[in-house]
Amino acid sequence: MKRKQVRELAFKTLFMIDIGKNCPEKALFYTLESTVFSDDARLFLEELVLGTLEKLPELDKLLSRYLINWELGRVSASVRTIMRLGLFELLFLEDIPAAVTINEAIELTKRYQDEEAARFVNGVLDKIRLDVQVTK
């Protein structure tokens, strides 16, 4: 399974947790049981989901600073989830180039939202990348 597919499953899992108020362990278990994963893909999924949840207060605080004239709670759930996931990857997964992370977030947004939302996600994540000087 490609990382692109794992990111999408991580997004869906985080979305279930955010919108459905599902227990993180149960949501992750459901995702892991409903798909066949290689060991690497499984570890990547767990890292994305659990890492994003662990860093959620920090991610939300940073995102909120960059949402000009917006509140994080008013951003659509899918876009909010994608930005959280992308920001976690951008800040904490050093082996993935920033350009890849942002591009994957844009593609997910186009798939689950629209082109305008994708531009929004691109702008926010790229501005954070520049300001915190992510050098990967």
Domains and CATH numbers, the chain: 3-131 (1.10.940.10)
The rounded percent of the chain whose pLDDT value lies above 70 is 98
Contact 80, 61 (CB under 8 A): no
Work out the angle between the directed axes of helices 115-131 and 98-112 (0-180°, nearest 10).
Answer: 160
Give the pLDDT confidence score for residue 134 in this predicted structure.
Answer: 64
pLDDT digits (tens, 9 = 90+) for 43-91: 999 999 999 999 999 999 999 999 988 888 899 999 999 999 999 999 9
What is d(CA 53, CA 50) in angstroms, rounded to the nearest whole number? 5
Mean pLDDT of the chain: 94
Whole-number Cα distances in Å, 92 to 75, 111, 112: 23, 24, 24
